[in-house]
Amino acid sequence: MYELEGFREILSKDVVEKLKKGDPLSEGTEIEFPDKYLLVAKRGYERYPFEEMILSDVERQKGGLVLIFKSITQGVELEIFLDFMNEKLGFDPIYGFRIHKDRSNQQRVKEELSALQFQKSILSNGHLEIWDVISEKRLGCSDSYIPVNCSINSEHFSKEFEILEAILAEEGKFTGTTADA
């Protein structure tokens, strides 16, 4: 029950019950979600946050809602399933996680680096937490992700980290900015 605990406070009991049963929501049902979110990948003592994510879309799916989060620059997108039927917060760090590569500005490069660290953490048996930035309240928490019949390609991640860090280290690469701006 803890995985969706904070979202239960946002949604009315009537809405939660209808989602659990797969019933349609009443005409004109409005749900007021927070404006800004913090998504955190946690693995042991490691923390990889995505700050100021915005909720770009909400889709109804049998048993719950799919929330689509985007980063401020629109470079990263995550799909998260609030599965009220099974009392789970669902997140697929491969198919529900998209990085739109654009290395033309420093913010997008930093975002891509953060996204890869986030993804690697989840794929390495990490879990996801969703926080409301304004109230500082945890809305949801997934179980640890356990990959099945696959392993993490650490070389790929290391190589990508190295490339992105080198791009950020290049002085003046981005118009009017420096690596420490």
Two tokens, residue 168: 């950020």
Q: Which tens digit of pLDDT belongs to each residue from 92-147?
A: 999 999 999 999 889 999 999 999 999 999 999 999 999 999 999 999 999 999 98
pTM of the model: 0.88
In a domain? residue 154:
yes
In a domain? residue 136:
yes
179 has a pLDDT exceeding 50: no
Helical H runs in the chain? 5-10, 13-21, 106-123, 154-169
In a domain? residue 28:
no
Domain total for the chain? 1
Instruction: Using DSSP, state whether 40 is helix, strand or coil.
Output: strand
Average pLDDT over residues 10-24: 90
- In whole angstroms, what is the distance from residue 117 CA to residue 39 CA? 13
Sign of the alpha-carbon dihedral angle for 155, 178, 78, 11:
positive
Domain that holds residue 141: 2-22+33-169
Q: Answer with the residue of higher pLDDT: 153 or 180.
A: 153
In a domain? residue 177:
no
Round the CA-based radius of gyration of the chain to a whole number and report it.
18
In a domain? residue 133:
yes
| Residue 25 buriedness (CB in 10 A; 0-12 / 13-18 / 19+) | middle
